[in-house]
């Protein structure tokens, strides 16, 4: 079975490639053969589409435009069976109905088609559930807000965001090179810091504290409170150029 438009499994009917020259078809008079075989084919297709397991009731024969003489001819050559037939492979037929001979030998039963369709429905539902996001929406590309929440940008001088939380280096201009952020070179000349400071000033940023400028004296480690380093949870204090070793600041 294949899928028709809309996703439902499609039922196909099978016809032997020797059907047109089979003994049963040849037994139908040539003048009536085309009309009888056409009726047989329409009945086969109807039974497969409607999942009747090959049974065609009286009102369904009427819908197909079946003439009594053609129905009788198809029964005579055993392409169809009527009530009281002797075929052991085909089910009993109620009054006024016929059944396509060996329909279930070559075609799936109603039970199998419905089971396959239910299995397909469950499979697709499982796929949808796997793609579903935790918030209950369908999977795939999520909607992106045109106005996302701003990400706090740390101040290069303090390393703190506007909310007062320790941050990381931002993409905004900095008055110091990455090696000397956030407190500056503290008396040591650094060409990279000079370039960064010029870019900082050209961007109209606030003045740089004097203590961080090149040429400023280094603070005495004994007098330095290491406040910035402690606040940023760093083991290096750029103000006095000392490091925290075993709980003590060592120059």
Cβ pair 221, 249 in contact under 8 A? yes
101 contacts 77 by C-beta, under 8 angstroms? no
Calculate ∠ Cα 103-18-2, nearest 5°: 50
> 102 or 243: whose pLDDT is higher?
102
Average pLDDT over residues 100-110: 93
Rounded Cα distance between 178 and 10, Å, is: 66
In the chain, what are the domain boundaries? 2-110
- Minimum mean pLDDT range among 30-34, 144-148, 186-190, 227-231: 144-148
pLDDT of residue 31: 96
pLDDT class of 247 with cuts at 50, 70, 90: confident
This model's pTM is above 0.75: no
Which range scores top for mean pLDDT: 3-17, 36-50, 164-178, 225-239?
36-50
Q: Return the higher-pLDDT residue of 38 and 144.
A: 38
The mean pLDDT value for 174-198 works out to 72
pLDDT for 151:
52
Question: Coil, helix or strand for 247?
Answer: coil
Handedness of CA 167, 172, 174, 179 (dihedral sign): positive
Tens digits of residue pLDDT in 136-171? 555 554 544 455 555 554 454 444 444 444 444 444
Tokens of 12: 């196909």
∠ CA 24-28-33 to the nearest 5 degrees? 115
Percent of all residues in the chain with a pLDDT value above 70, rounded to a whole number: 61
Contact 226, 242 (CB under 8 A): yes
């Amino acid at each position: 079975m294949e899928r028709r438009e809309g996703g439902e499994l499609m039922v196909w009917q099978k016809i032997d490639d020797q059907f047109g020259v089979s003994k049963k078809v040849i037994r139908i008079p040539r003048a009536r053969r085309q009309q009888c075989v056409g009726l047989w084919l329409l009945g086969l297709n109807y039974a497969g589409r409607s999942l009747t397991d090959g049974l065609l009731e009286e009102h369904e024969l009427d819908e197909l435009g079946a003439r009594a003489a053609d129905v009788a001819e198809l029964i005579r050559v055993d392409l169809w069976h009527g009530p009281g037939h002797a075929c052991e492979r085909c089910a009993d037929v109620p009054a006024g109905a016929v059944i396509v001979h060996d329909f279930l030998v070559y075609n799936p039963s109603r039970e199998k088609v419905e089971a396959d369709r239910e299995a397909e429905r469950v499979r697709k539902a499982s796929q949808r559930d796997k793609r579903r996001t935790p918030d209950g929406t369908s999977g795939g590309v999520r909607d992106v807000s045109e106005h996302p929440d701003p990400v706090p940008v740390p101040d290069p001088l303090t390393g703190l965001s506007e909310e007062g939380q320790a941050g990381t280096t931002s993409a905004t201009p900095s008055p110091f090179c990455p090696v000397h952020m956030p407190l500056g070179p503290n008396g040591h000349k650094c060409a990279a810091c000079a370039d960064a400071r010029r870019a900082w000033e050209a961007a109209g940023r606030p003045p740089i504290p004097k203590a961080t400028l090149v040429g400023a004296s280094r603070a005495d480690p004994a007098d330095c409170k290491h406040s910035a380093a402690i606040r940023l949870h760093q083991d290096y204090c750029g103000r006095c150029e000392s490091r925290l070793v075993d709980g003590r600041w060592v120059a």
